[in-house]
Structures are given as C-alpha cells and as structure tokens.
Amino acid sequence: MNKTIIISSILLLTACNEIPYSTITNNPVPIEDKSAPSPTTPPITPPIVDLGTGGLKVVIHESNNFSNTDLERLEQARVILENVLNTEEFKQKVLHFTYLGEETFVQNNGYSNLEVYNLIMAGAEQYPKQTPVNHLMDLYTELYYGSSGVIGYTNPSVPTIYMNNYYFSDYTPGEIAGNLIHEWLHKLGFDHDYNSTARRPYTVPYAIGYIIDDLTSKL
Ligand SMILES: [Zn+2]
C-alpha cells in the first residue's frame, strides 16, 4: 500500500466515522455543552425577511502558527468559501435541505431553513460575544499539531477556531472551507450530537459543511 492510499484511507475513515470536530482531551468547554442557551442569553431574532442571495464577506482576522504555504491554502479556502456561500446554488441547497422528508435541519434552534440561511448571511456571531448584524463571517484561526481523531475544534469562550495540521496538510481548500464553516456555525449557536449519531449529519454545522464541500467539488 503506498502513501497516497494510506492517506486516502485515513481520510475516508475520518469522514465515515464522523469524528467530532470539537473533541479534544484538553478542551475544557466543548461547544456541545452550550446547546441550551442559558436564561441570561438574550434571544437573537433572525431577520424573517428574505435577504436575497449572498452578501456575506469572509474575513480572516487571525491566522496563528501557519507557515507561508499554509497561509496560501487558508486564503484559497477563504476565497472558495466566500464564493460558494454567495451562490444561488448554496441558498437553494440550504432552503431545501431535507431531513426525514421535511425541509428542516436537525437541532435547528427553532429556525426554519430560510431563517438559518438568513442567520448565516447576517454574520452576527453569538460566541464568544454577541456581535451585530454586519454581514461578515469573522474568522480567527490557529493551526496546531495534533494526532488523528480531531479535525478542528472551538469552544464558546474564545473566537478562535483551532485547526489540526494532521488533516489540514492533506485537505483540499474545499475541505478546509467546509471545516471553517462547520466551526463558525458553532459561533452562531448551532450545535450537534457529540458522538456520531444517525441524525448528526443533518445538523446545521455538519450539513452546511458538507454542502460547501460538495459545491466546491463542482466548481
Ligand atoms: Zn462541531
């Protein structure tokens, strides 16, 4: 078995096993613990009107520990993410996302598909603090060197998205884009089962991540 096959097998295994993005041994506050907003958390009211298509800018404010080559790939992922997010195809996939025959996401925080779409386009992060609607996906990234098992993680107390170089180094820009939006959707308050479950791929972070990855592969 050559190296390429081994790497492909590892990635396939990773995808199939649905390894939790936020699993890490020293992660003190997994974002999954924040699925139920505390009573003091002000409810956010999503725009209920259709905002049209697109209008979201992807901004990387921080990129710690990235080599110049890694930075180039991160920038490629940012451009892909911004382009795909603002397509009509992305909007239609979100609006018509289906779970068990119904147009809905799992663990959607009570939002319709259109509201989920509008929340994404609004770019108003909830964690680590509520930001206003500014149509900006604000990203703070950090590369770390870990072993297999965790693609990336974040937690509600920091803006940082931690990306594991074990995967980053072999990922396509589309896969990196899918990982970035998965973690960012946690910043909007969307959660998923910690362990692999039948419904987890239909949660907002997983499903949208897959949609980005899928649309990128068709570019
Ligand atoms: Zn996650």
pLDDT tens string for the chain (219 positions)? 444 444 433 333 333 333 444 433 333 333 333 344 444 555 555 554 555 678 899 999 999 999 999 999 999 999 999 999 999 999 999 999 999 999 999 999 999 999 999 999 999 999 999 999 999 999 999 999 998 889 999 999 999 999 999 999 999 999 999 999 999 999 999 999 999 999 999 999 999 999 999 999 887
Going from the Cα of 97 to the center of ligand 1, the distance in angstroms, rounded, reads 19
Going from the Cα of 39 to the center of ligand 1, the distance in angstroms, rounded, reads 23
pTM of the model: 0.79
**Is residue 19 a contact partner of residue 192, using CB atoms and an 8 Å limit?**
no
| Interatomic CA distance for residues 170 and 179, integer angstroms | 13
Going from the Cα of 41 to the center of ligand 1, the distance in angstroms, rounded, reads 21
Query: Looking at residue 45, what is its pLDDT?
Result: 58
Going from the Cα of 34 to the center of ligand 1, the distance in angstroms, rounded, reads 12
Going from the Cα of 20 to the center of ligand 1, the distance in angstroms, rounded, reads 6
Going from the Cα of 46 to the center of ligand 1, the distance in angstroms, rounded, reads 21
Going from the Cα of 197 to the center of ligand 1, the distance in angstroms, rounded, reads 13
Query: Looking at residue 54, what is its pLDDT?
Result: 82
Going from the Cα of 205 to the center of ligand 1, the distance in angstroms, rounded, reads 6
Going from the Cα of 138 to the center of ligand 1, the distance in angstroms, rounded, reads 17
Tokens describing residue 212: 């980005």
Going from the Cα of 177 to the center of ligand 1, the distance in angstroms, rounded, reads 14
Query: Looking at residue 40, what is its pLDDT?
Result: 52
Query: Distances from the Cα of 109 to the Cαs of 2, 81, 114, 186, in angstroms?
Result: 45, 24, 13, 12
DSSP string of 13-78, one letter each residue: HHHHHT--TT--TT-SS-GGGGSS--TTSPPP----S---S---EEEEEEEET--HHHHHHHHHHH
